[in-house]
Amino acid sequence: MSDEDFPAIPSVPKRLLLGPGPSEVNPEVLRSLALPPLGHLDPMLLEIMGKIQDLLRRSFGTRNHLTLALSGTGTSGMEAALANSVEPGDRVLIGIIGYFGERLCEIAKRVGGVVERIEGEWGKPLDPEHLRKAIEKHEPRVVCLVHAETSTGVVQDLTGIANAAHKVGALLLVDAVTSLGGQTLRVDDWGIDICYSGSQKCLGAPSGLAPITFSERAVERIKQRTKPVDSFYLDMLLLDKYWSERQYHHTISAPLIYALYTSLSLLHSEGLEASWERHRLNHRAFRKGIEAMGLHLLPDEAFSLWPLNAVLVPGGLDEAKIRSSLLNEHGIEVGGGLGPLKGKMLRVGLMGYGSRREFVLELLAALEIVLWGMGHRSDAGAGVQAAMQIYAHPSMAGVA
Amino acid sequence: MSDEDFPAIPSVPKRLLLGPGPSEVNPEVLRSLALPPLGHLDPMLLEIMGKIQDLLRRSFGTRNHLTLALSGTGTSGMEAALANSVEPGDRVLIGIIGYFGERLCEIAKRVGGVVERIEGEWGKPLDPEHLRKAIEKHEPRVVCLVHAETSTGVVQDLTGIANAAHKVGALLLVDAVTSLGGQTLRVDDWGIDICYSGSQKCLGAPSGLAPITFSERAVERIKQRTKPVDSFYLDMLLLDKYWSERQYHHTISAPLIYALYTSLSLLHSEGLEASWERHRLNHRAFRKGIEAMGLHLLPDEAFSLWPLNAVLVPGGLDEAKIRSSLLNEHGIEVGGGLGPLKGKMLRVGLMGYGSRREFVLELLAALEIVLWGMGHRSDAGAGVQAAMQIYAHPSMAGVA
């Protein structure tokens, strides 16, 4: 292979990232990435890390001391949540309504948990009453639920779950990878003990860091372990000492810290609830546009995620071809289905900086053109026009 | 706290990073970081990842198929190396001549290994003959050595170790966090089975990715496990499927991938052996300068690392004050001692882009001024002059 195959700066096209994440990055966040890197123990970097902790607490809606960002992706957040809270032999009750519930089971087993599954239909949330009964019956040590199931676009109602869990001495562990910053989430009010997310979804930073928070109850559980956490890299008590007491643990990535800080700062300039409303508005406009084109989202509106829209592909159309046309002819990335939904779904993320009117309209226009080319014909402009009705009259769609 | 406390772009000073890592980042690598992010399954990103695999194989000196970069720091590399190769109850022989040998023990125990320690003096390497005998005696499943002990600036001779290990059926696992790209390392020629590093040392990228390689023998060991790897996030067989077969595992960080790619491309434009020689030359010049100022490195030249220089602080001087003066008055970061060497040592990294004549001279000048201020007086300019003798006549110092 010749050296011309390895130019120093790779040639990278600008895509519009409207898949399940990474999402579009705010230009300010990109500027942050290229700031001069600081050492992992530099007082100025530790100050920025302290601000990230403050801003993450606001974003999660928590006063938890142990709130920080792991040096890994959202999957490392899932692993840290389970590896710290579950000891070998512990019963773990896991709600499964999609791919990420399955992943929770996989990881819980690897760290030695005895998994009890509560399965629901993919595309619907679990019934909280059903969940509460299962908690009473199984008396697990940890209850795991996916708040925002990225594989199906469904939001899980968590009402009353924490009470039921705490009554039997269980911790409530919640995956908020796709909801943090983009959909109503109140860690303390809802009694969540462990909650994690990713930097590359509704926060609009690049991937590589995983925000996570542990309640006092969850910290106590770690302290009472009889066996240390298998993972040194994801040991929450050691990470707490690094973030809070500046005790060396690993070499954190300064550019990722800058980017996460900037994305959180922008989120709180906008206002957390304003960001939720923006995600809701763009979701409603997108749904209306999709329906006007004769397509449908998998979940009912009542339990639809706002940041992630699961669009069913009309029968007979080649899903992979739709995505490759959007990518190669229109420069737009959307995701495909996972697991049993492979080939049947487009997953459209309207997250963080990507949740914007111009992107919704751009995607609806491109999708219409691609579908026309494949023989699925709707009235020209029906999608963008329907979406505009929402933007013109948001209150008619129930959006403030 | 008011919003003025959270400006969108943090105010970050430019430091000269001459600590134990992160090292100085090449301006081209910084440019790469801010390229438009691509999705983790975008064909163009996967193409860049493929080039990284090629360039990493060249850097490690290996033909191993399973060669990639983990989405974590060097410590995640150490954890992945052990978590995949060690099963509960396996005997693991670990050489300890510094802080990172101790960390290997800590992690090996967490993943269930039964650790046999071979300890040596901090500041010296272990005797290969002694190591070979210990391998024969203990017949471990895995032999772990730190090639470049970042806490003491010592390089470990690995001659004959692989033969002894393979004879008893053990794998040879080597920490090359501080040597990859900056000091002679030949994974295949030396018979190393598992080798890992970090992106932020001699490769000159920001931290956040950990290059790692597994031999066929090591891959077989994973395949024969009776129990899956505790860690899903660091499961090498799943990561192989992501890197080689594009099967979704986690959301890799595009900016970190761009940066690592660019740093590897620049390394191979220079030439791997030329980079080793550059690190050697700058180390020799720095040592000569330090000695001319009446200071000393901990290790003898015969087993000194080139990228990391462990400078003993003269008796009576306050090490923390030297470092804070260098940082706050001269804008230069160097590291302090770890473990028993805390307070007794400055750790000076001359790594990657940071291994340059102008930085060596700048640091020697600043150090002289700081030490003068603290009462340690040498002839004015003695350090930079002695270093210049090496740059003017590299062959006299044994550098080609």
**Coil, helix or strand for B176?**
coil
Strand order in the sheet with B308-312: B296-297, B308-312, B345-349, B335-336
Provide the residue range defining the domain that includes B374.
272-397
**pLDDT 10s digits, B9-24:** 999 999 999 999 999 9
Same domain, A137 and A203: yes
- The pLDDT of residue A395: 83
In this complex, the residue of A79, A198, A266 whose CB is nearest that of residue B231 is: A79
A253, A268, A283 - which closes a domain: A268
Same domain, B98 and B200: yes
Which positions ≥6 away from B50 have C-beta within 8 Å? none
Span B138-163, mean pLDDT?
97
CA distance B272 to chain A (A): 14
Contact B126, B160 (CB under 8 A): no
Give A-chain residues touching B103 at CB under 8 angstroms.
Answer: 232
In a domain, B22, yes or no: no
Give me the percent of chain B exceeding a pLDDT of 90: 96
Contact A86, A113 (CB under 8 A): yes
- The pLDDT of residue A399: 65
Number of folded domains that form chain A: 2
Same domain, A37 and A113: yes
CB atoms within 10 A of CB B343: 11
Interface probe for B, chosen from A14, A28, A32, A33 (most Cβ of B below 10 Å), is A33
- pLDDT category of residue B399 using cuts at 50, 70 and 90: low
A214, A238, A268 - which closes a domain: A268
Task: Return d(Cα A391, Cα A382) in angstroms, integer.
Answer: 15
- The pLDDT of residue B394: 87
Span B130-150, mean pLDDT?
98
CA distance B34 to chain A (A): 5
- The pLDDT of residue A400: 56
Residue of B nearest to A107 (CA): B232
Q: Exposure pattern of A347-384 as b/e (b: 16+ CB <10 Å)?
A: bbbbbbbbbebebbbbbbbbbbebbeeeebeeeeebbb
**B2, pLDDT greater than 70:** no
In this complex, the residue of B35, B54, B234 whose CB is nearest that of residue A12 is: B35
**A2, pLDDT greater than 80:** no
In a domain, B348, yes or no: yes
In a domain, B224, yes or no: yes
Amino acid at A170: A
**pLDDT 10s digits, A189-241:** 999 999 999 999 999 999 999 999 999 999 999 999 999 999 999 999 999 99
**pLDDT 10s digits, A324-379:** 999 999 999 999 999 999 999 999 999 999 999 999 999 999 999 999 999 998 89
Same domain, A62 and A158: yes
**pLDDT 10s digits, B98-113:** 999 999 999 999 999 9
In a domain, A335, yes or no: yes
Q: Exposure pattern of A80-112 as b/e (b: 16+ CB <10 Å)?
A: bbbbbbbbeebbbbbbbbbbbbbbbbbbbbbbb
Task: Return d(Cα A21, Cα B129) in angstroms, integer.
Answer: 52
Q: Do A5 and B206 touch (CB under 8 A)?
A: no
Q: To the nearest whole number, what is the mean pLDDT of chain A?
A: 96
Helix extents (H) in B27-154? 27-33, 43-60, 74-85, 99-110, 128-138
Same domain, A244 and A278: no
**pLDDT 10s digits, A61-77:** 999 999 999 999 999 99
Select from A151, A184, A186, A182 the least CA-distant residue to A172.
A186
- The pLDDT of residue B4: 76
In a domain, A355, yes or no: yes
Residue reference for tokens 């970097």: A45
Query: Which bin fits A157, alpha (ψ -120 to 50), beta or left (φ > 0)?
Result: beta
- The pLDDT of residue B130: 96
Q: Do B12 and A22 touch (CB under 8 A)?
A: no
In a domain, B65, yes or no: yes
**pLDDT 10s digits, A137-187:** 999 999 999 999 999 999 999 999 999 999 999 999 999 999 999 999 999
Which positions ≥6 away from A210 have C-beta within 8 Å? A69, A70, A72, A73, A74, A75, A76, A77, A80, A196, A197, A198, A199
Same domain, B181 and B97: yes
Q: Exposure pattern of A14-30 as b/e (b: 16+ CB <10 Å)?
A: ebbbbbbbbbbbbebbb
Strand intervals (E) in chain B: 16-17, 66-70, 91-96, 114-119, 142-146, 148-149, 154-155, 171-175, 194-196, 210-214, 296-297, 308-312, 332-333, 335-336, 345-349
- The pLDDT of residue A396: 73
CATH number of the domain within which B338 lies: 3.90.1150.10
Task: Return d(Cα B115, Cα B62) in angstroms, integer.
Answer: 28
In a domain, A339, yes or no: yes
Residue of B nearest to A88 (CA): B230
> Which DSSP symbol is given to B395?
G
In a domain, B19, yes or no: no
Same domain, B233 and B287: no
pTM of the shown model: 0.97
Same domain, A176 and A286: no
Interface probe for B, chosen from A231, A252, A270, A324 (most Cβ of B below 10 Å), is A231
**B37, pLDDT greater than 60:** yes
CA distance A299 to chain B (A): 24
Same domain, A323 and A371: yes
CA distance B261 to chain A (A): 8
**pLDDT 10s digits, B259-308:** 999 999 999 999 999 999 999 999 999 999 999 999 999 999 999 999 99
B252, B268, B284 - which closes a domain: B268
CATH number of the domain within which A63 lies: 3.40.640.10
Q: Do B208 and A255 touch (CB under 8 A)?
A: yes
Span A37-64, mean pLDDT?
97
Span B324-352, mean pLDDT?
97
- pLDDT category of residue A78 using cuts at 50, 70 and 90: very high
Q: Do B22 and A5 touch (CB under 8 A)?
A: no
**ipTM value for the complex:** 0.97
Which positions ≥6 away from B337 have C-beta within 8 Å? B151, B310, B319, B343, B344, B345, B346, B347
Q: Do A253 and B256 touch (CB under 8 A)?
A: yes
Same domain, B257 and B327: no
Same domain, B84 and B193: yes
Same domain, B353 and B222: no
**Coil, helix or strand for B298?**
coil
Task: Return d(Cα A384, Cα A386) in angstroms, integer.
Answer: 6
